[in-house]
Structure 1
């Protein structure tokens, strides 16, 4: 059996590794949240531009007059 001191040291190393992993994952989550916020802002800008566009001069198919029949 391992001594108590060796077990404590092993647990401390595992804890340090887990803390590092959690911090790295946290940084990735922060980056992804910023990316999502940026993309949401860009989508809102595009929606605004689409709403501001003038309607097309091309009639929809429902508005078209039917072709003459021969």
Structure 2
């Protein structure tokens, strides 16, 4: 093989390797976004539950009658 053919083959191998690395990185990003979306949904559900608990909680201490020993 000539020097030119060797260089072309080397470049083709590099390009193939880079394509695989790019695809691997893309799959990693996709998996991370799925995880982020799942965590975001869980966080919003927790916020809703906390808000619901706060809304159902007894009023503020100022609105409660004083204890009998006052």
Structure 2 length as normaliser, TM-score?
Answer: 0.76
CA RMSD of aligned residues (A): 2.0
Structure 1 segment 8-19 matched on structure 2, within 5 A:
8-19=8-19
How many pairs does the alignment contain?
60
Q: Which has the higher helix share?
A: 2
Unaligned 5+ segments in structure 1 are 66-70
Partner of 1:39: 39
Structure 1 length as normaliser, TM-score?
Answer: 0.76
For 2:17 and 2:29, how far apart are their aligned partners in 1?
18
Unaligned 5+ segments in structure 2 are none
